Amino acid sequence: MLQKSLKIVEHAKIYWAISILVILLGGIFLIVNGGFAMDIDFAGGMSMTVDFGEKAEGLNLDEVKDLVKEVAGASVGDPVVQRSDNNQVVIQTVTVENDIRDQIQNKILEKYELAPEAMLATDNVSATVGGELQAQAVQATLIASLLMLLYITIRFEFKTGVAAIVALLHDCAIMLSFCAIFRIPLNTTLIAAILTIIGYSINNTIVVFDRVRENYKRAKHGNFNETVNNSVKQTLSRSICTTITTLLPVVMLFALGVSSIRQFTIPLIVGLLAGTYSSVLLAAPVWAGLKKWQDKLKRRKLHKR
């Protein structure tokens, strides 16, 4: 009954209005907070690698984080503590003074009864390196989008590629808005989540586009808007089921994972929902709108002749 009542193309303005409101809300929070929260990857800071040896088994990472905050105070911000290879733990903070860094090292060695050799490395990441990472992240996203545009143009047509890229940009904007609203720090993990969602979303979008093309051929090039509505309705169950089965393990990672895993899964959950939303309700209507605009141009040219 729900599928019969859906008018995807006719209600496209409503769906876009919802997305634009979310993006505008993210923009407002971005202005109020003075920009995104930046992780050490982008903003620069201190990175400390500690080998806990056998004590790494059952180690409470939140306890280590609290220890760092206790020693360094408010100046350390919100440290990131995550497991690395084998028994190693990486502690990341904003840039701190050398004496505070030494206090953190000594306190960790004392509390967990570690030898001085357990401190494997203490590096400072400059803001310049962070700027390079940001540029590389943007570059990776743009290259992925352009390659997808090329692929979809070859498989379908240029208008279809443009519609797909618009949907992908929507998904990225929604994820970044969510990060701005809830102060989720930008880092390389978030970029990995964005690129993951781009791949997931384009897969969903191509399924819808493929059905539109098949139905349009069967209808012998009838009403395109009606074809889009029918095609989206036919693929709706598949899109919802795919999203649910994909969300289940991600939600479990969020519920059972450590804080570093949660930083990856939260944007991923938002991106999965946004990707499904754009694939079902936005991408095909954009294609229909571009086709309508192109048909109008053709009619004007014929009328001039």
- C-alpha to C-alpha distances, 196 to 2, 271, 277, nearest whole angstrom: 30, 9, 16
Within a domain: 303: no
Give the model's pLDDT for residue 16.
95
Residues 156 and 72 in one domain: no
Give the model's pLDDT for residue 62.
86
Assess contact for 73 and 96: CB atoms under 8 A.
no
Residues 96 and 165 in one domain: no
Residues 244 and 170 in one domain: yes
Give the mean pLDDT per block of 10 residues along the chain (305 residues).
66 95 95 83 80 84 88 76 79 82 89 88 70 77 84 87 92 93 83 87 91 89 88 92 92 80 86 94 93 83 70
Residues 76 and 142 in one domain: no
Give the model's pLDDT for residue 80.
78
Residues 193 and 57 in one domain: no
Residues 288 and 213 in one domain: yes
pTM (2 decimals)? 0.78
Assess contact for 116 and 100: CB atoms under 8 A.
no
Assess contact for 262 and 135: CB atoms under 8 A.
no
Domain region containing 118: 45-125
Give the model's pLDDT for residue 253.
87
Residues 102 and 239 in one domain: no
Within a domain: 305: no
In angstroms, rounded to a whole number, what is the distance separating the alpha carbons of residues 69 and 62?
Answer: 11
In angstroms, rounded to a whole number, what is the distance separating the alpha carbons of residues 17 and 13?
Answer: 6
Within a domain: 244: yes
Give the model's pLDDT for residue 215.
92
Residues 161 and 286 in one domain: yes
- C-alpha to C-alpha distances, 6 to 3, 90, 219, 229, 241, nearest whole angstrom: 5, 50, 20, 7, 18
Task: Encode 279-293 in three state secondary structure.
Answer: HHHCHHHHHHHHHHH
Element (H, E) at 102: helix 98-111
Residues 282 and 145 in one domain: yes
Residues 212 and 240 in one domain: yes
Give the model's pLDDT for residue 129.
57
Within a domain: 226: yes
In angstroms, rounded to a whole number, what is the distance separating the alpha carbons of residues 182 and 168?
Answer: 21
Residue 187 CB burial class (10 angstroms; 0-12, 13-18, ≥19):
buried
Residue type, 269: I
Give the model's pLDDT for residue 176.
93
Number of domains, the chain: 2
In 156-168, which positions are buried (b, 16+ CB within 10 angstroms) versus exposed (e)?
bbebbbbbbbbbb
The CATH number of residue 147's host domain is 1.20.1640.10
Residues 290 and 194 in one domain: yes
Tokens linked to 305: 């002749």
Which residues contact residue 264 at a Cβ distance below 8 angstroms, ignoring those fewer than 6 apart? Answer: 189, 190, 192, 193, 253
Give the model's pLDDT for residue 2.
42
